[in-house]
Structure 1
Amino acid sequence: MVERLLSADFPGAQELRLQIDDAQVVGRWGTGSVSVDLRVSGDAPASPVSSGVAPVEATVVDESGALVGEIILWTQSGLLSGLEYAWYGDEPPRRLPEVKRIVLAG
């Protein structure tokens, strides 16, 4: 999923791509949450992306093409730090969406 998000081209994306192999899920955001914290180990270069939300717009659509959420990639000090599934609706998702359901803007 992170590879799909980082297939978008923006300043600093290349450095974030180099971190993927060294990124690990280190925790969930809460009981039952599908959003996760990431930690990058190793010596991959830091990205010039500011801490916070990476500049990539990724929406999630269902089988009929209806918008059901978005995926947000978080960074801290130039390193991958989180993957958030912000869903639209009353029921939280039980798992992350299939990669084919992610639509990148632009």
Structure 2
Amino acid sequence: MLAPRVRDLVAAVAAALPDGGAELRAQLVAATVADGGATHLDVTVPDESPRLEHPDGPLPTVATVVDDAGELVGEVQVWVRDGLMVGVEQTWYGDTPPTGWPDLAHVRVG
């Protein structure tokens, strides 16, 4: 199972997809973490899950991360392969990587 913060982030990305991300939201129910940490998660979902109609790679939705002052500090990307979510990645701008996943209040999806 994905941690609540990560689930919320992926759900926000799904909601911004053209069709509301129904397939991605359905995958969230059974998604598990295979490996990862504070900046990258390898995710597995059952093969029988509904599949996204999207080429392999990151989804086009931009989820930017801001600090308390509203300054841009990074992004969150959701990766898919063969229509299934395979990863969640957090990039950062600066020298110090994040130590955890951002709260949804610090994320702007669009």
Secondary structure of the equivalent of 1:91? coil
User: Taking structure 1 as the reference length, what is the TM-score of the superposition?
Assistant: 0.88
Deviations 1:2-26 (A, max 9, x none): 1121111325822111111011111
Structure 2's unaligned 5+ residue stretches are 1-8
41, 44, 53: which one aligns with 2:49: 44
Runs of 4+ in 1 over 4 A off after TM superposition: none
| RMSD of equivalent CA atoms | 1.6
Rounded to whole Å, the distance in 2 between the matches of 1:44 and 1:87 is 31
Count of aligned pairs between the two proteins: 102
User: Taking structure 2 as the reference length, what is the TM-score of the superposition?
Assistant: 0.85
Is 1:82 the counterpart of 2:87? The answer is yes
Seen in structure 2, the aligned counterparts of structure 1 residues 45 and 23 have a Cα distance that, compared at 3 Å, is same
Secondary structure of the equivalent of 1:43? coil
Q: Which amino acid aligns with 1:23?
A: A
Q: Which amino acid aligns with 2:25?
A: R
Secondary structure of the equivalent of 2:15? coil
What are the equivalent positions in structure 2 for 1:1-106 lying under 5 Å apart? 1-11=9-19, 13-28=21-36, 33-41=38-46, 43-105=48-110
Is the contact between residue 14 and residue 20 of structure 2 (CA under 8 Å) also seen in structure 1? Answer: no
